Chain A
Amino acid sequence: MVESKFRKTVRKTFFYLVLLIVTTLCIIPFITIISASFSNESELILKGYGLFPRGFDMTAYKMVFTDPGQLFGAYIVTIVLTAVGAVGSTLIMAMAAYPLSRKNYRWRGFFNMFFYITMLFSGGAVASYIVICQTLDLRDTFWSLVLPCLVSVWNIFLLRTYFQQVPYSLIEAAQIDGASEMYIFFRIIVPLSVVGIVTIFVMMALSFWNQWYGSMMYMTDDKYMTLQYYMYRILSNVDEMLKNENALMMVNGGQLPKETSRMALCVLAAGPMVFVFMFFQKYFSRGLVMGSVKG
């Protein structure tokens, strides 16, 4: 029984249709937010959210940019956090993953277990909170946002898998030429595992960019407010953004662009990064698949 061409075509069309619908569903909310941010406030309130802007209007963006102080501050905190966090964590995790990938390293089993245990058992949120805030006294410092999130054991094991794919003979050859382990790591292992390292780098950058937990829990003031936490505060209380009097005067008379400026803020906060990550997607989709190969 050979499949008829007709059935094949039907099947393919069906697949295309499913994928098209699902992909559309994944993108629609984004379009809605962008449209809403360009909408006219009174029309938006009248007609509600939709796929297309309700009357093209830039007031919301003007509004956000009259007093961009907080947004700007949050942006800087988040960018610095992401840069420091992603670079630091990738370096630290890669350096830990390399010895684990070496089959003839003496304490490999011990350190494997050392890291693995933390994946199985944790002290829980309350204990972590107490350790970070009381024992280590990191409350209200920038480091409380960075340090607890630097090491992700899962990613160490992914990196270990990538490094194991580098042929051992290369390492041996370098050793015979008298290379130190550091030299081997930076000059041989890292260049040959670029895809894997970029993958982990992007994943870590993503998790630091989307950080809100730290700003919410470990901060008593707004000095180190991340972008995500700022957005959360705006959504739960839009008046916070509108408390500035200059901003109120600028939109005198007309309706305060509460909803639209909220959405404009969302676009400004989330938009740029989505494009950056989309750019990296090529690398890390390859890396993720590679890492899931048995190791």
Chain B
Amino acid sequence: MKIREGTAGPAVHKLKQRKYGLSHWQLTAMFIPAVVLVLLFSYLPMFGIIIAFKNFRFNLGIWGSEWCGFENFRFLFESDSFKTLMRNTLGYNITWILLGKIAGIVMALCMEGINNKYCIKVFQSGMFIPYFLSWIVVSYFSHSLFAYEMGMVNSFISQFGVEKIAFYTTPKWWPLILTVFSLWKGLGYGTLLYYGTMLGIDQSLYEAATIDGCGYLKRVWHITLPHLKYIVLVTLIMDVGGIFNSDYGLFYFLTKDNGALYSVADTFDTYVFRTLRNATNLGLSSAISFLKSVVGLSLVLITNAVVKKFDDDCALL
């Protein structure tokens, strides 16, 4: 066997790499299933977004349908429902993002404060139950609470001679009800997230602060909350990106899709969902989808930029 001088080095190197080095193609092969699924179910629909500019007909398909320019958007902005949808979606989302974070942090502080492993476990499990339930199961709960004749709320208030409330046809109660249920369902998860982060805080900081004469509130304000900054900001960026999304299970099932409650319980997503079910007004829905995607994307980028300026570590991108 002849070994030419000068090529031995690279050849050995190549051999070594093939035998011991990482294999890029093997790693890439592991991607295939996920990439195919993402291409089909995430990227393919992205092209479907052009139906916002088309007069979509199911029988003609996406490519066969006629172009109609900004007709769909014009209809959307002129329709009465747009304002309501906008107000409901943004109003609920902003309120819930803020309240959800506050509630989670408060509960986490309570858990940290009691410092009893067994009790914390019990409380945590209890608070997590709602997280496991679908909105449909929750709608059974709300039915047992707010049904006109037999609901617990009505039997309770009628004991005091207050007239029964027809919850399912009275819009004014629903902002409160929806908020309570939304918080109720997300509380366990939020608490866990914040409590877990709190457990990672160096305890000597608290000891030092106590020796220096800090009261409880000061310790929370100057030690605990700053440590939560990262997780709060990262989840905030995600939340802001989804500010036009809504959990349509919540709105759709809890209100039992009741037309009388649309004024306070209809959001972009429930509207789209309903039009899909009835196959009406698809043009409007696709215009909504388009706006949601585009505005959502820009919001994520803007929030991220703001957060980045504020604190580079907490930015997502």
Q: Which residue of the partner chain, among B137, B193, B216, contacts A289 with CB atoms under 8 Å?
A: B193
Which residues of chain B have C-beta atoms less than 8 A from A206's C-beta? 132
Query: A: which residues have CB within 8 A of B?
Result: 1-3, 11-12, 15-16, 18-20, 22-27, 29-30, 32-33, 36, 44-45, 47-50, 92-93, 95-96, 98-99, 102, 104-107, 111, 114-115, 118-132, 134-136, 147-148, 150-151, 153, 156, 175-176, 178, 180-182, 185, 206, 209-210, 212, 216-217, 228-229, 231-232, 235-236, 259, 262-263, 266, 269-270, 273-274, 277-278, 281, 285, 288-289, 292-294
Tell yes or no: B289 within 8 A of A by CB: yes
Pairwise interchain contact A48-B151, C-beta atoms closer than 8 A: yes
Q: Which residue of the partner chain, among A11, A120, A229, contacts B216 with CB atoms under 8 Å?
A: A11
12 A-B contact pairs sorted by A residue (CB < 8 Å): A106-B24, A120-B241, A123-B47, A123-B48, A125-B273, A125-B276, A127-B289, A181-B22, A181-B26, A216-B277, A263-B144, A270-B137
Q: Which 10 A-B pairs have the closest CB atoms?
A: A124-B289, A127-B48, A289-B196, A123-B45, A96-B34, A210-B134, A29-B141, A23-B126, A48-B155, A181-B26
Pairwise interchain contact B143-A48, C-beta atoms closer than 8 A: no
Which residues of chain B have C-beta atoms less than 8 A from A24's C-beta? 126
Pairwise interchain contact B28-A294, C-beta atoms closer than 8 A: no
Pairwise interchain contact B31-A96, C-beta atoms closer than 8 A: yes
Question: CA–CA, A25 to B141, complex, Å?
Answer: 12
Residue of A nearest to B199 (CB): A289
| Min distance, Cβ B275 to any Cβ of chain A, angstroms | 8
Of the candidate stretches B1-9, B75-83, B86-94, B117-125, the one touching chain A is B117-125
| Min distance, Cβ B161 to any Cβ of chain A, angstroms | 16
Q: Which residue of the partner chain, among B133, B152, B192, B210, contacts A270 with CB atoms under 8 Å?
A: B133
Of the candidate stretches B35-43, B165-173, B259-267, the one touching chain A is B35-43
Tell yes or no: B84 within 8 A of A by CB: no
Tell yes or no: B293 within 8 A of A by CB: yes
Query: B: which residues have CB within 8 A of A?
Result: 19-24, 26-28, 30-31, 33-35, 37-38, 40-49, 51, 58, 61-62, 106-107, 109-111, 113-114, 119, 122-130, 132-134, 136-141, 143-145, 147, 149-152, 154-155, 184, 187-189, 192-193, 196-197, 199-200, 210, 213, 215-216, 230-231, 241, 249, 253, 256, 269, 272-273, 276-277, 282, 285-286, 288-290, 292-293, 296-297, 300-301, 313
Which residues of chain A have C-beta atoms less than 8 A from B38's C-beta? 114-115, 118, 151, 153
| Min distance, Cβ B132 to any Cβ of chain A, angstroms | 5
